[in-house]
Amino acid sequence: MWYYSTKGKSPAVTLKEAVLRGPAPDGGLYMPESLPSFSGSYLRSLPFKSFSEISFEVASAFLGTDIPSDVLEDIAGEAMDFPLPLTGLQPGVYCMELYHGPTMAFKDVGARFMARLMSYLYRNMDRPLNVIVATSGDTGSAVASGFYDVDGINVVVLFPKGRVSRLQQLQITTNGGNIHPLEVDGNFDDCQWLARTILADEELNHQFTLTSANSINIGRLIPQSFYYFEAYARLQGSTAPVFSVPCGNFGNLTAGVMAWCAGLPVRKFIASVNINDVFPKFLDTGRYSPAASVPTYSSAMDVGNPSNFERLDFLMGGMAVNFRESIMSWSFNDKQTADAIRGVASDTGYIMDPHGAVAWLGLKEYAGSTGFSGPGVFLETAHPAKFPETMEEILGKYDFVPPQLSKLEQGQERFTPVPCDAEAVREYLLSINR
Ligand SMILES: *Cc1c(COP(=O)(O)O)cnc(C)c1O
């Protein structure tokens, strides 16, 4: 299978090149030349399959021409070794918990799969691979955990100073080994800009192999489509569900749209965002205007220029009207988020995290404006215990600490502070590759 840039101005590449490159040279993002097409009978068989079967079969449909079947089965099986339970919360409202992986955020799904895919694709190469990743919190920890101790791979994590939670910071900075955290004096957009600048640096690319682990990487995006199939399976193949997705860089939503393009029945996607509302504004006006990001409770969604907009736009043929047919989008502020968390906790006893709460609000808004009665699935992308300060502020008291997180406190933090300056990151990269 060939992979094409969304901008159409660079040559088509193999999966290996697409995964190792991250963005295409023309600034576009890679997409497979064609998407699989799942038959009706396959879709009807889904309720009888386990998540590991589904992951493997969906992975094969997307990547089967590039990776031998037994290798893909191992990669999918090892990456998806945690449950993704779908629970009915309220009439017609289901919550899919994507956060039972090692770092307790849904990014474990993509990062674990991609780490194994890269290490397979990169086997037998003679110089180290440098993975560059910008994070608003959860990506860095998931990528650090997914790549920890993988031979021949250095990981440089750029995280914004003072903008990640204490636990996220521990998850990024206590790995050691081949994981190199850089604390950037700037916000997430600055980190993302630095990562893009370094990845595009010709001289560096000449000296070593550089790649991105952000959701712009197709190797991270594809596995995120697995759980949309899983949700449909666990709903027993009922009528097409609505998915409400808490969006930041829009990788999660894009993976859902890819699943839908491949035939998965979906009634509507809801792109639920916090007050970083470039996307709903785009749907309203047809104009896409990136803006500086604003901090909110759902910090992993504080993105002013979502990187996967490029891919969505490509899938939608560049037409706002096509977007409007399949995707609706609303923005919610911190007060609405906090009220939702308190309301659902007192009605059902279920504690949502701020990201999942934004998705819950999106589903509720959709039901309110259309009379839709279900099934609607909102994606819970992180465990609330990842944000103890915020949860305590909202609920008054929150002190649950799952085992994955409690053991972090014993770790030793190691990171290097850098200014928001590509030269400093370059120097650092040279120093770890000496
Ligand atoms: C990254 C993240 C999001 C946003 O996902 P995108 O794919 O960037 O849209 C939402 N919630 C949590 C907890 C995240 O870590």
Encoded tokens for 249:
């860089």
In angstroms, what is the span from residue 411 Cα to ligand 1's centroid?
25
Mutational test site, ligand 1, from 136, 157, 245, 355, max ligand atoms within 8 Å of CB: 355
Let me know: does 269 contact 404? Beta carbons within 8 Å.
no
Encoded tokens for 223:
């596995």
Where does ligand 1 bind, in terms of residues with CB under 6 Å?
105, 107, 138, 215, 246-252, 300-301, 355, 381-382
Please name the amino acid found at residue 198: I
What count of residues does the chain have?
Answer: 434
In angstroms, what is the span from residue 210 Cα to ligand 1's centroid?
24
The protein residue with its alpha carbon nearest to ligand 1, atom 2, reads: 300
Encoded tokens for 209:
């192999």
Q: Residue 215's closest CA among 298, 123, 142? A: 142
**Could you give the CA distance from residue 272 to residue 217 in angstroms, rounded to a whole number?**
22
Within 10 angstroms of residue 362's Cβ, the number of other Cβ atoms is 28
Encoded tokens for 33:
């030349």
SS3 label, residue 171: helix
pLDDT score, position 184:
98
The protein residue with its alpha carbon nearest to ligand 1, atom 8, reads: 249
The protein residue with its alpha carbon nearest to ligand 1, atom 1, reads: 300
Listed in sequence order, the DSSP H helices in 46-186 are 51-63, 69-79, 107-121, 138-147, 166-173
* Nearest atom (ligand 1) to Cα of 254: 7
* Nearest atom (ligand 1) to Cα of 381: 13
For 20, residues 6+ apart whose C-beta sits below 8 A from its C-beta are 118, 121, 122, 129, 209, 211
In angstroms, what is the span from residue 143 Cα to ligand 1's centroid?
13
Specify the DSSP element, H or E, that contains 30: strand 30-32
Within 10 angstroms of residue 309's Cβ, the number of other Cβ atoms is 21
pLDDT score, position 215:
67
**Could you give the CA distance from residue 91 to residue 355 in angstroms, rounded to a whole number?**
21
Q: What is the CATH number of domain 71-105+221-395?
A: 3.40.50.1100
The protein residue with its alpha carbon nearest to ligand 1, atom 4, reads: 248
pLDDT score, position 370:
95
Mutational test site, ligand 1, from 157, 168, 191, 252, max ligand atoms within 8 Å of CB: 252
DSSP state of 240: P
Place of tokens 């509507």: 268
Encoded tokens for 154:
């250095």
**Longest CA–CA separation in the chain, Å:** 62
pLDDT score, position 319:
80
pLDDT score, position 314:
94
SS3 label, residue 93: strand
pLDDT score, position 421:
96
**207 class by beta-carbon count within 10 Å (0-12 exposed, 13-18 middle, 19+ buried):** middle
User: CA 173, 179, 185, 190: dihedral to nearest 10 degrees?
Assistant: -130
Let me know: does 434 contact 208? Beta carbons within 8 Å.
no
Place of tokens 């910071």: 169
Let me know: does 363 contact 378? Beta carbons within 8 Å.
yes
* Nearest atom (ligand 1) to Cα of 356: 11
Residue-level pLDDT, tens digit, the chain, 434 residues = 999 999 999 999 999 999 987 789 898 999 999 999 999 999 999 999 999 999 999 999 999 899 999 999 999 999 999 999 999 999 999 999 999 999 999 999 999 999 999 989 988 777 788 999 999 877 888 899 999 987 778 999 999 999 988 888 999 999 999 999 999 999 988 999 999 899 889 999 888 888 888 768 899 999 999 999 999 999 986 789 999 999 999 999 999 999 999 999 999 999 999 999 999 999 999 999 999 999 999 998 999 999 999 999 999 988 878 898 999 999 999 999 999 999 999 999 999 999 999 999 999 999 999 999 989 999 999 999 999 999 999 999 999 999 888 888 889 999 999 999 999 999 999 999 88
**356 class by beta-carbon count within 10 Å (0-12 exposed, 13-18 middle, 19+ buried):** buried
Specify the DSSP element, H or E, that contains 429: helix 422-432
Backbone angles phi, psi at 219, to 5 degrees: -70, -20
Question: In the beta sheet, which residues pair with residue 269?
Answer: 243, 327
Let me know: does 233 contact 245? Beta carbons within 8 Å.
no
Q: What HEC string does 199-232 produce?
A: HCCHHHHHHCEEEECCCCCHHHHHHHHHHHHHHH
Q: Residue 155's closest CA among 126, 181, 135, 194? A: 181
